[in-house]
């Protein structure tokens, strides 16, 4: 099933709300979702109707790696600054939900909620990332492939339930390493080249093999599951051409929503809203 127009409109509204221009009126209560990623930490805020009203995004490269919180204090610092910015913009969030990557369990999953608490937020929910993403996309069946900075998460959904998950250590950082090696630069500069629209066509031949490797990993994990469509989310899925590579390598229909980076954080905020309303 193609990504719906309403889902893309919701994502576009969230992207616009990141400007914090105060043009859109909002009413309490507010519900927040925090996506602690390898490359970015993104906080989404929705109102009682599930409409995006605000958000914040910042680099978080040193904090999270391979789905684990490695630099606890750095992760807290980044999120605390986002909370401060949102408060100053007139969005007094006090509680939020977090999400954990596929296959993360126990204390590793709980750490994501602990970061929220340490940043001054009340952690009111902890959700798995694919379920959060599927809530935004409105899908019941298919596979969500979340290609972030450090990992590629594969989640198979059937009748709205996640029936299979896997998480592989390949993501945007691996593109950076290839680019850095080719140009003999550091990975920070490589990241700048990777995200520069004017350079992406130039470097596509360099990173195409990495995308092909990601596709082969996805195909391997789906070999025992009957899936007709893949839904690409995560920041690395924003790179032009990845959709075609995935389609050619897997032979499946590939759906990519508007700004894949924003799917999971928005889904976490909507999950927070749904669970808190249900609880009351």
Tens of pLDDT along the chain (280 residues) come to 788 899 999 999 999 999 987 655 566 799 999 998 877 899 999 999 999 999 999 987 655 655 566 677 888 899 999 999 999 998 999 999 998 887 776 777 788 889 999 999 999 999 988 889 989 998 889 999 999 888 888 999 999 888 998 888 888 989 999 999 999 999 989 999 999 999 999 999 999 999 999 999 999 999 999 898 999 999 999 999 999 999 999 999 999 999 999 999 999 999 999 988 888 7
CA 63/CA 243 separation, integer angstroms: 28
> Is 237 found in the same domain as 187?
yes
Helix axes 129-137, 5-17, angle to 10 degrees: 110
Residue 30 structural domain: 5-134+261-279
The number of distinct structural domains making up the chain is 2
pTM over 0.75: yes
> Is 25 found in the same domain as 112?
yes
> Is 98 found in the same domain as 76?
yes
> Is 118 found in the same domain as 223?
no
> Is 116 found in the same domain as 56?
yes
CATH of the domain at 218: 3.30.420.40
> Is 180 found in the same domain as 82?
no
> Is 268 found in the same domain as 228?
no
Peptide bond into 148 cis (omega under 30): no
């Amino acid at each position: 099933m193609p990504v719906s127009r309403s889902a893309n409109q919701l994502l576009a509204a969230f992207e616009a709300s990141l400007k914090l221009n105060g043009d859109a009126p909002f009413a309490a209560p507010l519900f927040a979702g925090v996506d602690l990623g390898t490359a970015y930490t993104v906080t989404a805020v929705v109102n009682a109707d599930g409409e995006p009203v605000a958000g914040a995004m910042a680099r978080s490269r040193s904090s999270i790696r391979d789905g684990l919180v490695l630099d606890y204090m750095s992760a807290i610092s980044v999120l605390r600054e986002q909370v401060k910015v949102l408060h100053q913009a007139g969005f007094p969030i006090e509680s939020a939900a977090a999400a954990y990557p596929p296959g993360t369990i126990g204390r590793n999953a709980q750490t994501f909620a602990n970061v929220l608490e340490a940043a001054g937020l009340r952690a009111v929910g902890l959700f798995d990332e694919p379920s959060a993403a599927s809530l935004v996309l409105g899908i019941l069946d298919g596979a969500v492939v979340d290609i972030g900075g450090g990992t590629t998460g594969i989640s198979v959904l059937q009748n709205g339930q996640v029936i299979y998950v896997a998480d592989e250590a390949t993501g945007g950082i691996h593109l950076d390493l290839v680019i850095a090696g080719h140009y003999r630069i550091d990975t920070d500069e490589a990241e700048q080249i990777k995200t520069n629209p004017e350079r992406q066509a130039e470097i596509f031949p360099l990173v195409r093999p990495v995308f092909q490797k990601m596709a082969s990993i996805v195909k391997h994990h789906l070999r025992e599951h009957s899936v007709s469509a893949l839904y690409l989310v995560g920041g690395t899925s924003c790179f032009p051409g990845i959709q075609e590579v995935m389609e050619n390598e897997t032979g499946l229909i590939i759906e990519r929503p508007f700004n894949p980076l924003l799917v999971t954080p928005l889904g976490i905020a909507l999950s927070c809203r749904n669970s808190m309303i249900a609880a009351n």
